[in-house]
Amino acid sequence: MPVGTHATVKAVAPEELTALGAGIILSNTYHLYLRPGEDVIKGQGGLHRFMNWPGAILTDSGGFQVFSLARFRKIREDGVQFRSHLDGSLHFLTPERAIRIQESLGSEIMMNFDECTPYPAEEDYARRSLELTTEWARRCKAARTTDQALFGIVQGGMYPHLRRQSLEDLLDIGFDGYAIGGVSVGEPKPLMEEVTARTAPLLPRDRARYLMGVGEPLDILFAVEQGIDMFDCVMPTRNARNGTVFTRHGKLVLKNAHQARRFGPIDPECGCPACRNYTRAYIRHLFLTGEILAPRLATMHSIYFYLDTMRDMRTAILAGFDLANAAVRDLGVGAATTLAVVELFQDSLRTYHVGDSEILVVGQRGKVKWRTVSHSPAGYAVEAGLVDENEAMSHEDRHVVSNMVGSSEMRIDMGPVVRLAPRDTVLMGSDGLFDNLLIDEIIGAIRKGALETGVSALVQASQHHMTEPVADHPAKPDDLTIIAYRRDPVRTSRKSSQSAAGEQGRSSRRDPS
């Protein structure tokens, strides 16, 4: 989300933001409350009309800005007393007041009023801070009188157990989305990554996940891998106004002397107005002469680059499915197939699939952590609890597949981010596996022991059922494809590493029977 703190994204008009592809921006409750005042904005019909912005708006509650005014504020249980950074006037902001202001602004998404825990903070302080944030969250929700979405903010400092407690408290209250706050406040980057990686997978799968205040491209990529959906940061536009931008090849300082004779665009792969029409040499000249056009062009590039990067991440895997679908349809022979993909991160995964191939995630003790639903009448019936697995194997429609690659109506089933523990096993299999073996048989073969041995056992058992069916266990001769992966165990010594190496790894087996 481009940041428009004062009801404007600096150096760019709202129409230009729309042309760049922005669909939502962030504005700040604290600053708009102080100037021009919510009554002025409400009098013009809300923030959208006030700034002529047709897209969505998220309003920050002002908690972070109050946090940043440490010398001029006093936190109490009922709210925060602070002095304006503009004229020193005294103000008192409560959770109820923060919601009323945001309702007057008319944003699509409002944020809870929270205390942003500073870094560093002792555990006792972080606990008291999150308890105050939780109580304010209850008051914010009770104060809401409109249908604007309201997001809760997870606090807890750099303590994972406090983060979990904060989220559990917010889930009990119930919000439309959930944000991770209190990061990128001065802590080392590895600590920020640890907090994000431990907190993001706990956020609800069916709600928007928002990481507040993080803006480095690699940090965003890392957070997306953990399951985060939304970001905001002033850094992209602030840096751009000062002559530093990002490209697909890294950071670029436009004021540097060696740019003086660079007659190509900022980024040859970028489609923004600055890259389509101007050279680095020209933009550097504009910066050095103090021309207003310089920060405008750099800001437009920066916004476009970030939005384009997010689009690329969002569509990379889905585009692969679409290309496969088009290739199968182009054969022109009525062919169809199934497709399953597992996207592995550092300690988690996400599944994508079309058709009746399935993906299974199993813990070492045999607990099913995630299983995709076969796109077939029988698969949907099992998922709905209408039939059990044994009945599904004998179902008259068990060979019917209702969603396939090669169909004009193909849909992609995208799963949630699933956290992986050491020795968790991920199994991908075609219907030759799942239509011949019961889930308990599959789990029993792969949940422990050498991965290669488990996969071999599945191949043998599936082939046996295909060729020698037994009563009450129908067989389905079909292609048999298995891909298995097991996450590395935690290695604490060279000796344990060597002993584990023989068991861990990837194993795949394909039998065209």
The residues annotated as belonging to the active site are 60, 232
Can you spell out the DSSP letters for 404-431?
A: -BT-TT---EE---EE--TT-EEEEE-H
Report how far Cα 443 is from the mean position of its chain's Cα atoms: 30
Q: Is 89 exposed, middle or buried (0-12, 13-18, 19+ CB in 10 A)?
A: exposed
Q: Of 80, 65, 79, which Cα lies nearest the Cα of 213?
A: 65
The tokens for 506 are 């990837």
Three-state DSSP at 217 gives: helix
CA distance 405 to 339: 7
Q: In 250-388, which ranges are continuous DSSP H helix?
A: 273-277, 280-288, 293-330, 377-383
Is the CA virtual torsion 324, 326, 331, 335 positive or negative?
A: positive
Q: Are 354 and 404 in contact (CB under 8 A)?
A: yes
In order of 158, 189, 341, 360, the CA distances from 430 in angstroms are 43, 41, 12, 11
The tokens for 482 are 């298995």
Q: In 58-159, which ranges are continuous DSSP H helix?
A: 63-68, 95-105, 123-143
CA distance 56 to 59: 10
CA distance 188 to 208: 26
